Amino acid sequence: MYYEKNLKRMSSFYVNEVHLITMLLPYMERKLHEDCEVYTILQNSLDKTVKLLLSKLNLKEDLKEKIKSIDWNSKTINDYKILEKQINNTKTKYIIINGTEKYVREINKMLKKYKKNHKEGKLVLINCYNIVEFNRNIGTILENTDKILNTSGEHEIEKIFPEYIKEEKKKA
């Protein structure tokens, strides 16, 4: 299907909020220099953690302002409708999704429906999972993931989880 070509799903695993933001910042810094847009759909607000870390990092002020301008506040699943109205152009959109496994799954379902109706733009979903919760659902999470994002950047799943084999590869 066409929309799958322009839909990339990444997963990231973190220990706590500080670890999550520390891991996301270098990646987001590179993406903010490209002609793209960054959005968040967060079950719990990360605004205070982002501001705290930015106050301690030696980054250019304009970059700090760009990072601060991203909405790091929590959103309900219903807030997705507002976000859908904002992401209607052809720029690449990076959407950071964080919350329980159920919350992330529901948001992904909604965004997949959105993508079917908006085929022209590229959509990159960055699903972030707390490591305590991910241990129970690693197979399901990885099955719905194209790449892994960690502190050293974007990687193939097999590089980070060498024992894991996707279901589609098992069948081949």
Give 123-151 pLDDT, tens digit per residue. 899 999 988 776 666 777 888 888 888 88
So what's the pLDDT on residue 171? 54
So what's the pLDDT on residue 1? 34
* Percent of the residues in the chain that have a pLDDT greater than 90, as a whole number: 26
So what's the pLDDT on residue 4? 65
Q: What is the DSSP letter of 146?
A: S
- DSSP assignment of 50-97 equals HHHHHHHS---HHHHHHHHHS--SB--GGGHHHHHHH--SSSEEEEEE
Q: In angstroms, rounded to a whole number, what is the distance separating the alpha carbons of residues 80 and 75?
A: 8
**Is the Cα dihedral 71, 77, 79, 80 positive or negative?**
positive
Amino acid at 107: I
- Please answer whether residues 96 and 37 qualify as being in contact, where contact means their C-beta atoms are separated by less than 8 angstroms: no
The stretches in the chain having pLDDT less than 50 are 1-3
Q: In angstroms, rounded to a whole number, what is the distance separating the alpha carbons of residues 139 and 120?
A: 31
> What is the number of alpha carbons within 13 Å of residue 31 lying toward its C-beta?
22
**Global pTM value:** 0.82
So what's the pLDDT on residue 2? 38
> Angle at which helices 47-56 and 17-32 pack, to 10 degrees?
70
Domains, in order of start, for the chain = 2-171 (3.40.50)
So what's the pLDDT on residue 87? 59
Model pLDDT for residues 69-87, shown as the tens digit of each residue: 999 999 876 766 666 666 5
